[in-house]
Amino acid sequence: MNIGSFGIQSKDKNSEKIYDLSSIVNDLESKIKLQTIGITNGSFEYDQRSNVIHYCRGDFNSELISKDVLTYVLNLDLVLFFNSNDEKYDLIPSGVFSDCIALELPIIALRNAKLEFFLKNMAP
């Protein structure tokens, strides 16, 4: 099973929580592949755990994301959203969220205002 986050990896979005998750699923490592797909804004550090795979390494200010990244995104079985109730991101449009809807990718998320707003007002 491929589980991961995609888009800009950052401290503001709690992207580092993938490392906390990696220590929990360590025993299931052969069945669960944790991954990040995207570049950092400078506040996320790669390679903090050996069982997390990183695609599209680089810094937001100096790197471009390859079109091949879509291949990795389409291989995800579950998408992780670590954003919490941070007013900075509450109702800011999210390209990743929109992509998940368009690609019909299931999301596992911390409770946050953006997802609650969508589920109450937009979902059928």
Is there a contact between 39 and 58 (Cβ–Cβ < 8 Å)? yes
Is there a contact between 46 and 57 (Cβ–Cβ < 8 Å)? yes
CA distance 118 to 114: 6
Determine the structural domain holding residue 64 and report its residue range: 2-121
**How many structural domains comprise the chain?**
1
pTM (predicted TM-score): 0.81
pLDDT digits (tens, 9 = 90+) for 65-113: 677 788 899 999 999 988 876 666 555 557 888 888 899 999 888 777 7
List C-alpha distances in Å: 109 to 3, 83, 97, 106, 113.
Answer: 12, 7, 11, 10, 11
Report the CATH number that the domain containing residue 53 is assigned in CATH.
Answer: 3.40.50
